[in-house]
Amino acid sequence: MSSVEQSYSLAKDRYQSIGVDTGAALEKLKTIPISLNCWQGDDVRGFENADTELSNGLAVTGAYPGRARGPEELRQDIDKAMSMIPGTKKLALHAMYLESGDKPVDRDAVRPEHFKNWAAWAKEKGFGLDFNPTFMSHPKSEPFTLASPDDKIREFWVNHGVASRRVGEYLGKETGKTCVTNIWIPDGFKDTPVDRFGARQRLKDSLDRVLAEKIDPVYNLDAVESKLFGIGSESCVIGSHEFYLSYALKNNVLYTLDTGHFHPTELISDKLSSILTFMDKVYLHVSRSVRWDSDHVVTFTDELKEIALEIIRNDFTGRVYIGLDFFDGSINRLAAWAIGSRNMAKALLYALLEPSAMLKKAELEGDYTTRLAMLEELRSFPFGAVWDYYCLANGAPVGTEWLDEVRKYEADVLAKRK
């Protein structure tokens, strides 16, 4: 028996003493998909144009060597990253990651065939795919897209949204796993506007047209993502929390909660139960905000654990779709994927190892002493031993072994890219 297995055996007994079945927790964890974000691997450049630069308030800092320069390199890097992450995975694509050969394709002309290589790759690996229309970093995205007062500009982006949903449907059919197609737009005002209502009426009309075509939810689910403010939209974001939450409720689409898109004192963990009281499902974009929406790599923070606890305590695993959304060009990009994804999975395991039924019973009976005492004692339970065993049992590196693999891949592959 290895040291990892020995440690797990002891941890298993410890958790059993409080009524927690670690084996059941590990089996449950394997069924919860985590959607990696493809744009971490190439600094959100995409494959439309080699000279594409981010705009609409987005920026990637750092110039760590080895950025993926094309779809084959990006898929190669994702393959390696996923091999270091235990459990069920998906991959989230943006429309700008299309493959059209030598023929330029504008956003309104995106078609399923431009993603056939991604679909074939995902099908071979057994991964699901999520999708995002790309409303930023385009000559027609400044300053408005779906809320533009220019009818031609608005029509262009409506057509892009319609086309993107069809791509999402295609990806769902090809992989046999539901695709979540998430709509985020950068529209807003830098300075105080006079007519917020007019802009939001235009956005509503555009969304109605984008979502008019009925698509089987087995293949594609639609989501809308809000934001508090952005660079260039400091005074007013058209797609605000109130706007999109209302729209999602009325139109039966998913609402996307991004952990960096709210005021720093607002907690996503607190919003989940409120929203899921009235909505069937939500979509998560998990990142780490430092001085607001900076999309840092996900770390094992208290809030990440609270988000996972809210999902597990209330049996929301079938109602919350979990996706990552960060991009850091200052560190090894595969390491960023591995750190962020493993931490998301760790948080879910931490939650699965909580004796929630016991704690809920104590709370319901007004025994807040037991509730507080148990929550604090659980912090020092041997959770790490269970995580190491989960990695071992699922063929993923244990502890910092994954970092050794990243360093070898960097020397053998990334360092040779110019």
Q: Is 285 a catalytic residue?
A: yes
184 is catalytic: yes
First to last CA, the chain: 45
> Is 325 one of the catalytic residues?
yes
Helix (H, G, I), strand (E, B) or coil at 36: strand
Contacts of 3 (CB under 8 A, 6+ apart): none
Q: Give 111's contacts (C-beta < 8 A, 6+ positions apart).
A: 105, 163, 166, 167
CA distance 28 to 308: 13
Query: Which of 310, 325, 354, 388 is flagged as catalytic?
Result: 325
Name the catalytic one among 114, 177, 204, 227. Answer: 227
The yes-or-no answer on residue 160 being catalytic is: no
Active-site annotation holds for 261: yes
- Annotation marks residue 242 as catalytic: no
Q: Compute and round to an integer the Cα radius of gyration of the chain.
A: 22
Which one of 43, 169, 187, 258 is the catalytic residue? Answer: 258
Q: Which of 48, 130, 225, 328 is catalytic?
A: 225
Measured distance CA(97)–CA(46) in Å, rounded? 5
Q: List the catalytic residue out of 261, 281, 296, 305.
A: 261
Catalytic residue among 295, 328, 405, 410: 295
Residue whose C-alpha is closest to residue 200's, from 180, 169, 224: 224
Q: Are 239 and 184 in contact (CB under 8 A)?
A: yes
> What's the length of the chain?
418
At 258, give phi and psi (nearest 5°).
-100, 130
Out of 184, 337, 387, 402, which one is annotated catalytic?
A: 184
Active site residue: 285, 296, 305, 346, which one?
285
List CB contacts of 134: < 8 A, sequence separation 6 or more.
46, 94, 95, 96, 107, 160
Whether 227 is catalytic = yes
Respond yes or no: is residue 214 known to be catalytic: no
> Catalytic amino acids?
184, 225, 227, 258, 261, 285, 293, 295, 325
